[in-house]
Chain A
């Protein structure tokens, strides 16, 4: 392990066929599986909104984003399955049986178009910041390369999110009120997405799977979104939020981590419905997978 860690500390990149300690293989696998599951559940959220999205311009973007998210899940499941810990089928079955984890933000329900704007604007930015921090210095080669593609596309989603936000912010009072409610509902889940402060012995940092501490990423996000939302006349639902004149920075109030823990245990506000529906759709679409497999066989 010491030699392996020295290799990683020198910027070494691990490829699938290289020898690697089991602990490292498992840690990387779990991390990619969590990411893949989150893209999969995120794709389902987007898909739910295709018929309800207002206007052709936004609708086209939502259709494409749905395909993007499933495409990312697809690529990530392939990279994860290649690590020979679980097959792709097992990962999907575990996810839909409620035995796996996915990001906290997908344990809440997107109830209004305002929520969808807040998700595209605030939550996607938080997810992108986390992915960039992994990509920057990730020691596992296949994941690092796939992340480069994913980040380029998520960056494009950010532009769509900003476009949605600008439109709703310049809309009627009703639209602005709807967006303010969405900020109130999604501010904390987005902030909690970064996770609690990184522990000093965090293995993900030590093995160069992640390259930045959770609290640093979270702070950077706060510095960006507090002034931006305030400049559009919206308020931040954090009574403890203050501006520190000495450091010239925004400081968030204390964060309650209980909601995050609940989502990790798959008992968040919307976890049961989300997992139940995803699982039901998986069963219902079995005939499509079967038909595709049969066509593949017919080709060969």
Chain B
């Protein structure tokens, strides 16, 4: 086996390390939930010289957290031993959608933050009592969220939508 043939294995290992570094970054507005679980990570490119390029997609294009998230990702990835440099690229496609949120993140959003996730036009269910919710306003504290009321227990529920 030549050295050249051995390289891809090293690269795969490095890529896995970079992936786990990116996974360690939490969303600034949801402490405890990784940006990877929220579906923000799209691509990882590592080069033999140790440079890493991380392709992320924003939940919406004007999100003010982009700079903070990119800073956190660069810091985390540069901590990987074999990484020499790291850049973050915000991709304009594919568009983020709520179905990119992992099952774990979804249940954490529900249990820890009382936030429901809306996939498409389906009516989301209340994180407390599982009844249907009714939209009160399409405007919530950010563009990726609307505000609902539960028809069962009356809870005010924030809904993340795609």
Which A residues fall within an 8 A CB radius of B?
15-17, 57, 60-61, 63-65, 67-68, 70-72, 74-75, 78-79, 82, 142, 145-146, 148-149, 152-153, 155-156, 159-160
Nearest CB in chain A: distance from B8 CB, A: 39
Asked if A63 and B114 sit within 8 Å, CB to CB, the answer is no
> Which of B60-68, B75-83, B90-98, B116-124 forms contacts with chain A?
B60-68
Interface residue from B63, B114, B155 paired with A149 (Cβ < 8 Å)? B114
Asked if A64 and B136 sit within 8 Å, CB to CB, the answer is no
Q: Which residues of B contact A152 (CB under 8 A)?
A: 29-31, 113
25 interchain pairs, CB-CB under 8 A: A64-B63, A64-B65, A65-B64, A67-B139, A67-B141, A67-B143, A68-B141, A68-B142, A70-B139, A71-B141, A74-B140, A74-B147, A82-B154, A82-B156, A145-B114, A148-B112, A149-B158, A152-B29, A152-B113, A153-B141, A155-B31, A156-B29, A159-B28, A160-B64, A160-B68
With A145-B114, A152-B29, A152-B31 given, is the CB distance from A75 to B141 under 8 Å?
A: yes
Interface residue from A67, A148, A160 paired with B142 (Cβ < 8 Å)? A67
List the count of A-B residue pairs having beta carbons below 8 Å apart.
Answer: 78
Chain A CB within 8 A of B115 CB: yes
Please give me the residue from chain A that is nearest to B140 by CB atom. A71
Please give me the residue from chain B that is nearest to A68 by CB atom. B141
Please give me the residue from chain A that is nearest to B28 by CB atom. A156
Q: Which residues of A contact B115 (CB under 8 A)?
A: 149
Nearest CB in chain A: distance from B114 CB, A: 5
Q: Which residues of B contact A149 (CB under 8 A)?
A: 113-115, 141, 158
Chain B 88-132 interface mask (CB, 8 Å, partner A; 1/0): 000000000000000000000000111100000000000000000
Asked if B65 and A156 sit within 8 Å, CB to CB, the answer is yes
Q: Which of A82, A155, A156 has the most CB of B within 10 A?
A: A156
